Amino acid sequence: MIAIYTRQSVDKKDSISIESQIGFCMKEISSENYKIYTDKGYSGSNINRPAFEEMIRDIKIGIIKKVVVYKLDRISRSLLDFAHIIECFDKYKVEFISQTEKFDTSTSMGRAMLSIVMVFAQLERETIQQRVKDNYYQRGKAGLYLGGIAPYGYNKVQTFLNGKKTYMFGVDKEKCEIVRHIYSMYAEKSKSLGVIARYLNIKKLKTNKGYNWTPTTVGRLIRNPVFVKANADVYVYLKNKGAIINSDINDFIGENGCYVYGERKTKTTSKFTDLTNNFVTIAPHKGIISSELWLKCQYRADENRAIKNSGKGKNSWLSGLMKCGYCGYAATVVNSRGLIYINCGGRKNGFCFERKRVIYLRDIEKIAEVKLLEKIKSLKNEFYVEISSNSKEVNDLKIKLAKVEENINKLIDRMLTLNETAGSYVNERINELDNKKKILKNKINKISIEKSSQRIKREDLSEYLKNWDNYNLEQKKSVAKALIEKVVITDEEIEIVFKI
Q: How many CB atoms lie within 10 A of CB 125?
A: 18
Q: Does the annotation count 9 as an active-site position?
A: yes
Please name the residues in contact with 426: beta carbons below 8 A apart, sequence gap of 6 or more: 411, 414, 415, 418
Catalytic residue among 9, 43, 192, 478: 9
CA angle centred on 285, ends 230 and 387, rounded to 5°:
25
| Amino acid present at 455 | R
Of 367, 320, 326, 372, which Cα lies nearest the Cα of 346? 326
Question: Which residues carry out catalysis?
Answer: 9
